[in-house]
Amino acid sequence: MVPAARRLVSGGKCAYIAAMLNDSIRPSLAPFAAVVFDMDGTLLDTETVFRQIVFDVCGTLGFEMTDAVHQSIVGSSHEATNQLLVEAYGVAFPYALFDEQCRAMMRQRLADDVPVKVGVHELLAELGARGIPAAVATSSRAPHAQRHLGQAGIIDLFQAVVTRDDVANPKPHPEPYLTAAARLGVPPGDCLAIEDSHSGVRAAHAAGMQTVMVPDLVLPTDEIAALCAAVMESLHAVHAAVFPGPGR
């Protein structure tokens, strides 16, 4: 049988979901004492919006964005994105201007509503009801993270929010996840991490956390899937796996 992760890469997210259903396998996750979430693409349904902005801004600046280049920057820090874009387009790429325009357009397009991913409210509600602490570990800067989590109406559901401003080393370094665990007062090995990007999966795994990937725009390679305790199609699937019950 072809591994599910390989089928996801070759057939897309829908093919992976079908493969999971056909396999009739529910991943078995170890017990955990806390959950640490990535933000964009995991909690917030913002990566699709940002993708369009990146393509639009690059075109305005005279550069052609491609799917391959875009996927390389998903989940990356400000510094890593700068480096990746300079590598792709050369030292003439005006990263400061690109970043400024992307941020302005993001604020404009999400001024009235910041959508959350399917299953966010249900999973966070159950964590709260069970007294399981939750944190956010994001590569975004503090103002961006605080504003978007607040606009989404979920910021008060987290006991800690770790942003790029809180760490010396962003993802894929484990520091964001180690910092989140420390702020929660829970050993990293007792935390469940939920991610949507390769960079985030590498960071959470390196921190020693049980890691689940819920792909958004970027699908897992075999290498990334091997770092995960499970790859699931949605937060609803994560909810069902960690809190099995009637109807799930």
Q: At 136, which helix (H) or strand (E)? A: strand 134-137
> Which of 67, 87, 109 delimits the end of a domain?
109
Residue 235 falls inside a structural domain: yes
Both 36 and 55 in one domain: the answer is: no
Rounded-to-integer distance, Cα 73 and Cα 58, Å: 14
Query: Which residues, in sequence order, are CB contacts of 25 under 8 Å at separation 6+?
Result: none
In this structure, what CATH number is given to the domain that contains residue 54? 1.10.150
Q: In terms of residue numbers, what domain contains 96?
A: 47-109
Number of domains observed in the structure of the chain: 2
Structure tokens given for 188:
């990293």
Both 74 and 189 in one domain: the answer is: no
Residue 216 falls inside a structural domain: yes
Both 131 and 211 in one domain: the answer is: yes
Q: Specify the DSSP class assigned to residue 216.
A: S
Contact 219/3 with Cβ under 8 angstroms? no
Both 218 and 119 in one domain: the answer is: yes
Per-residue pLDDT of the chain (248 residues; tens, 9 = 90+): 333 343 343 345 555 544 543 444 456 799 999 999 999 999 999 989 999 999 999 999 999 999 999 988 888 888 889 999 999 999 999 999 999 999 999 989 888 899 999 999 999 999 999 999 999 999 999 999 999 999 999 999 999 999 999 999 999 999 999 999 999 999 999 999 999 999 999 999 999 999 999 999 999 999 999 999 999 999 999 999 999 876 55
Residues designated catalytic? 38, 40
Instruction: Render 14-45 in DSSP notation, one character per residue.
Output: HHHHHHHHHHT-PPP----SEEEE-SBTTTB-
Contact 118/234 with Cβ under 8 angstroms? yes
In the chain, the amino acid numbered 44 is L
Q: Give the 3-state secondary structure of residue 37.
A: strand
> Which of 109, 132, 158 delimits the end of a domain?
109
Residue 20 falls inside a structural domain: no
In 25-121, at which residue ranges do the beta strands (DSSP E only) sit? 34-37
Both 62 and 181 in one domain: the answer is: no
Both 223 and 155 in one domain: the answer is: yes
